Chains A and B, each alone.
Chain A
Amino acid sequence: MTTYIIRRLLLGIVVLIVASIFVFLMVHVLPGDPLWVVLGENYINYSQEELDELRHVYGLDKPLIGQYFDWLGSLLKGDLGESIVYQVPVIDLLKRRLPVTLNLAVLALLISTICGLGLGVIAAIRRGKWSDTVVSVGANLGITLPNFWVGIVFIYIFAYKLGWLPTYGYTSPFDDFVTHLKMLIGPVLCLSVFGMAAQTRQTRSSMLEVAHQDYIRTAWSKGLTERVIVIRHMVKNGLIPVVTTMGMQVSFMFGGAVLVETVFNIPGIGRMMADGIGMRDYPVVQGGVLLMAVVIVLTNLVVDMAYAWLDPRIRYSYR
């Protein structure tokens, strides 16, 4: 098990290094001068001599590989550069905005996983009945919905027409908890629709696959009750692909946050990225992408650990 964990950890580090190369190259393959990324709109106000001097100061006259290691060095010290638009260190922006996105994403992940698992199990054990049809059709429709469009429809119905909820924005739970909850309902719902539908489909599918296994037949013939068979034998074994879906969901949540936070005007990482791209604030975009990559790689690591816990074959193969 320890070998397995160490191996996964090392692979995670390698993946992060490769991702950091992608993020570094992202700015360096930009057409034009990389100094533009540092200076933004002011670039045109500088003379050629000043630009050359700045190029030397920022190390942009070094070979690309040297520049990468300089950049990686400052990255490891927590220096992600400065935002061109906000004129503050990117790390401060990330620190301020990450809790907002995590608040949204964790809630959405919990809701989509709990509901998805429940609905998937119900559909599988009632296969062919009307409840299965309703859940399956709902799940198939759920994965086709663009989350930003669901947000717009939600705002139209619940804010404009019924007036039950605020239109958009974000209030910290420490300022006003009730308003915070009211403002969160729409974005969390939009963010969890796709995940819930995908999780329902995956759970139903893997439960049905497990239901055909020999050990389930043995369990039935032993005279075990349906509850014991479903919970102890089917759900635990059927959970493996479901855990994979959960790991992928973190990636979907971050991607979805870019759109949903834009629709609901929420000051999280997603909105920061969308604005950063719109205003060509590349240090912010680089910081945001790196942060997402770190969180996703860490999640995948946890998913791999969960595999080993759920599937003894993995544990034993690394003994």
Chain B
Amino acid sequence: MIWRTAEKRMTSTVEYVATIEEVPPRRSEWRRLVRVFWRRKLAVVGLVIVLALIVVAIFGPLIAPYDPYKTNIGNKLAPPSSEHWFGTDAVGRDTLSRVVYGARTSLVVALGAVLLGAVIGQLLGLLAGFFGGWVSHVIMRLIDALMSIPMIVLALVISSVLGGGIKNVIIALAIGGIPGQCRMMCAQTMSVKENDYVLAGRTMGVSNWRIMLRHIYPNAFAPCLVIMTVSLGATILAEAGLSFLGAGINAPAAAWGSMIKDGYKYLLTNPVLSIAPGVFIMLAVFGFNMFGDGLRDALDPRLRGTL
């Protein structure tokens, strides 16, 4: 409140503020972002793949040719044909339909885990970067300890302790995603808090929380967004790994990792059972990685074209 009143007073008394406000910086900034992003062909390919994945995940029931849960023992382990493009699995379920439904599982888990990890990680990073001192020491040592355990192992242990299923896999993978978000937000906060507008806020008596959430967070968020996008791909890979080991999402639910695991037993006779879901994992991860790279280039001109 104090901040707003002060802003108004400044606008009415100092003329040059009004001149600066006449320039619409946001619109041209957006245009620049879109232009840089659009110029990177791979980023556009990534965006197309991500959009296609979202469409498949939302409209799965309309796209899938068969019910992915319906078993048909009489037609088990059928090879690819015009009726079943990717054949059928050990209990006669249509593999293509399960791959389509698997997109939904992957996307829900990845989005859920990345968002949850980002909320916790960014909050911890904001606190560590803003307060520094012992707060930062405690938080960063916790993060270092989390990072000393490989992400997939950490998620595997947590998921097995909690007992599998979509909700628990999301929690397990979110914990694995906390360190990256926390470290990036901490570094960003430490640099953003040196700006004059933060000092101005402090001198006007704005509370720490308000400075953190209103003034630092929005200005420190962009690199975290890039990490979040790339993490979506890494989380899809990790979820597939967990499901492959049987500690993630298991049949009858359709998940790409567990489909590869179940198909592995029939590799010699029906290789498509485990190869097809792998190709889709690759596509999805490629899409998110390229989209994330494009986003980073657009948001950070310094790095443009180097990766």
- Interface residue ranges, A against B (CB under 8 Å): 11, 14-16, 18-19, 21-22, 26, 29-30, 140-141, 143-146, 148-149, 152-153, 155-156, 160, 201, 204-205, 208-209, 251-252, 254-256, 258-259, 262-263, 273-274, 277-278, 280, 285, 288-289, 292-293, 296-297, 300
Contact = CB atoms under 8 A, between A and B. Distances in A.
A29, A254, A255, A274 — most chain B CB neighbours (10 Å)? A255
Main secondary structure of the interface of B (DSSP, over half): helix
A8 to B, nearest CB: 11
Contacts of B235: none
Interface stretch (B61-69, B90-98, B202-210, B264-272): B264-272
Interface residues of B, number: 45
A18 B157 contact: no
Contact of B150 (A21, A143, A201, A292): A292
Q: Which 10 A-B pairs have the closest CB atoms?
A: A255-B150, A18-B145, A149-B278, A255-B152, A144-B285, A293-B148, A19-B145, A208-B306, A144-B286, A15-B144
B88 to A, nearest CB: 19
A184 to B, nearest CB: 20
A57 B141 CA distance: 34
B246 interface: yes
Nearest to B241: A259
Given A14-B141, A292-B153, 10 more contacts: A18-B144, A140-B286, A140-B290, A146-B278, A148-B241, A201-B307, A254-B153, A274-B245, A289-B153, A293-B145
A251 B303 CA distance: 26
Given A152-B274, A205-B307, A273 B156 contact: yes
Contacts of A254: 150, 153
A15 B260 contact: no
24 contacts: A15-B144, A16-B145, A16-B148, A144-B233, A144-B282, A146-B257, A146-B281, A148-B260, A152-B264, A152-B275, A255-B150, A255-B153, A259-B245, A273-B153, A277-B247, A278-B245, A278-B246, A278-B247, A288-B153, A289-B157, A292-B149, A296-B147, A296-B150, A297-B148
A26 B145 contact: no
Contacts of A156: 267-268, 271, 275
A279 to B, nearest CB: 10
A280 to B, nearest CB: 7
A206 B244 CA distance: 35
B240 interface: yes
B260 A152 contact: yes
Contact of A277 (B149, B157, B271): B157
A19 B275 contact: no
A258 B141 contact: no
Contact of B286 (A141, A209, A300): A141
